[in-house]
Each structure stands twice: as structure tokens, then as C-alpha cells.
Amino acid sequence: MIVSILLILLGFVLLIKGADWMVSGSSALAKKNNISNIAIGLTIVAFGTSAPELVVNSFASFHGYSDIVFGNVIGSNNFNLFIILGIAGLISPIVVQSNTVWKELPLSLFAVVILYLLCNSFFQDTAVLTRVDGLILLVMFGLFLFYVYKQLKTETLVPEIEIIPMSVLKIWSLILIGFSGLIMGGKLVVDNAVEVASGMGVSEKIIGLTIVAVGTSLPELVTSVVAVLRKNNDIAIGNIIGSNIFNIFLILSVSSFIRPIEFKPLFNIDLYILAGGTIFLFIAMFTGVKKKLDRWEAALLLVSYLAYTVYLIGKEV
């Protein structure tokens, strides 16, 4: 058991460092080919923070661990929304742009609703996220990218991304080592999470919603906390909302292409919580100071999800 937990921690280190190295190398390669900073930020860097979820889900789907597939994505999204945004909002109240309030937040809620409908047998006889469902999610992801592209064309000021010049050898070394780290880390996390679940007598669902979800969300946590400390509210909240949309539309889509994923109705509670948290965040934009997540609202997000996590674990013990 202790060995499995240590291997999970090692897996998280490999996932986070692997994503970091791959992003650094890919960003430098893109810059060498005269790709703009903002394009790099919206593609390579955005992918990098979600790469751990993608790799873990790919392994879990391949081996048929459906509870880890859904637990990781839904758990990561809840962790992003309640814990990361809660911590960031406690550090400093977060001012939110109008586009985020009226477009990105409703879009993230729409993603939850679409996932709920696809997984709850409204369009099929069994509760399975099929490859056809995955195609629907992928089309939605394409539309989301188109929306981001249109937003990019209307932006006048965008933050620059610092990219250190590198030799071609160093660039490809970072990309290959980073990719290898992601693969090895993902396998370690999935295999040993299943071992821990069996050894502790708890379900794969709980392990996916807690340990795996928290570990794969660490890049988003670091990104948002650093952004708030630097007074960059757009990155802090944009990173969370964008990652949640990315996780549902792309990562679950890829997971279902690898293997259709069985959905257990128990996950509906977590989807309700995710939807409720998104609605709360929308309402919070009109209470207190408008278009701002105040500290008390951030604290409410944080405390409510911590209480739910304790309840979940308590039910299993």
C-alpha cells in the first residue's frame, strides 16, 4: 500500500514535470517558427495544463477503468471550480470580464448539461459514453476553439508569454523527455490508484474523484495562484473555466474513442455539484461588487466542497 502511494506521488511528479518540459520545448519550437505568443498560450500552454488529465484518462480508458475516467474529469472540474478558485479568491478578490460572465460561464454549464444528457440514456439504451457521443463532444470542442479564435481577433491587448530561446537539440530533448514523463507518470498513477482502491476497500470512483483528480489538477492550481499573486485575474479565472470546458469536450471525447465508457448514475451527484457551483459563480457576479468573486464567496466555494469531500470519504469508510 505505501509503495503504491509513493508510486502515485512519483507519477504526479512525472506528469507535472513532463507537461512543463513539453510545453517549454513546444513553445520554443513554435516561437522559432514565428508563431505568436498568444497563439502559443491558447494552444500549447492550454494543452499543457490539461495534459495530465488526458494521459491518465487515456490509460484508464484503455484498461476499462471507467470510474477513474469519469472520476478524474468530473473530480478535476470540481476541484478547479471549488478549491482552486476558492483559494485564488481568498488570496485576492477576482474581477471577471463581461465575456467570461455572459459567454464562458454559460458555456461551461452547457458542457456539463451536454455530458449529463449523453451519459444518462436519453439518446441510447445503456448508460455508456459511446464513440458517437465522443464525436458530439469533439464537435463541441471544435466550436469552442472557433469561439476562442474569434475572441482572439477582437482582442487589442494580450499578455506576453516569456519564452526562453533554445537550441534545436534542447527543444526536441525537452519535448521527447516531457512526453516520456507524461506517459510513464500516467501509467504509474492509473495502475497504482487501482491498487490503492483495492487495498483500502474504497471504490475506484472515490479514488478518481479525490486522489487522481487533485493530482492531475496541480498545474491549474499553480497557474491560477501565480496569476492572482501577479494581479492577472483574466488568467486566473480563464484557466479554470477553459480547463473545465477542455476536460469535458476534448478529454472525455478522446477517452470514449479509445473505448466506450460505462457511466454509473452515482456520478450524477458530482455533475449536479459541478453545475450548481457554476451557477453559483454566475450568481456571484451580481452580488456584492458586480463582476467580482468576493472573498466570502470564494470561502463558501472552498468550504462547501471540502465538506462534500469529507462526506464522500466518510461514506466509503
Q: What is the pLDDT of residues 207-231, one digit of tens each?
A: 888 888 888 888 778 777 777 887 7
A 10 A CB-CB count for 141 gives 20
Contact 58, 189 (CB under 8 A): no
Q: What is the pLDDT of residue 104?
A: 81
Grid cell listed for 184: 510513464
The single-letter DSSP state of residue 230 is T
Phi then psi dihedrals of residue 167, to 5 deg: -75, 160
Q: What is the pLDDT of residue 157?
A: 45
Cα 161 to Cα 164: distance, rounded to the nearest angstrom: 10
Residues 6+ apart with CB under 8 A from 58: 186, 254, 255, 258
Q: What does the pLDDT look like over 16-35, one tens digit per residue?
A: 888 778 778 877 777 777 76
Contact 68, 208 (CB under 8 A): yes
Cα 80 to Cα 128: distance, rounded to the nearest angstrom: 25
The CA-CA-CA angle for residues 183, 189, 191, to 5°, reads: 100
Handedness of CA 301, 307, 308, 309 (dihedral sign): positive
Range of the structural domain that residue 227 is part of: 2-316
Q: What is the pLDDT of residue 316?
A: 61
Instruction: Give the C-alpha distances (Å, rounded to integers) separating 277 from 109, 139, 272.
Output: 9, 25, 8
Q: What is the pLDDT of residue 47?
A: 72
Show the low-confidence residues of the chain (pLDDT under 70).
Answer: 35-46, 98-101, 122-126, 152-164, 234-235, 288-289, 316-317
Q: What does the pLDDT look like over 258-271, one tens digit per residue?
A: 999 999 988 999 99
Q: What is the pLDDT of residue 156?
A: 47
Question: Treating both helix axes as pointing N-terminal to C-terminal, what angle do 218-229 and 2-32 enclose, rounded to 10 degrees?
Answer: 60
In the chain, the number of structural domains is: 1
Cα 220 to Cα 169: distance, rounded to the nearest angstrom: 29
Which three-class secondary structure string do you get for 115-129? HHHHHCCCCCCCCEE
> In CATH, what number is assigned to the domain containing residue 199?
1.20.1420.30
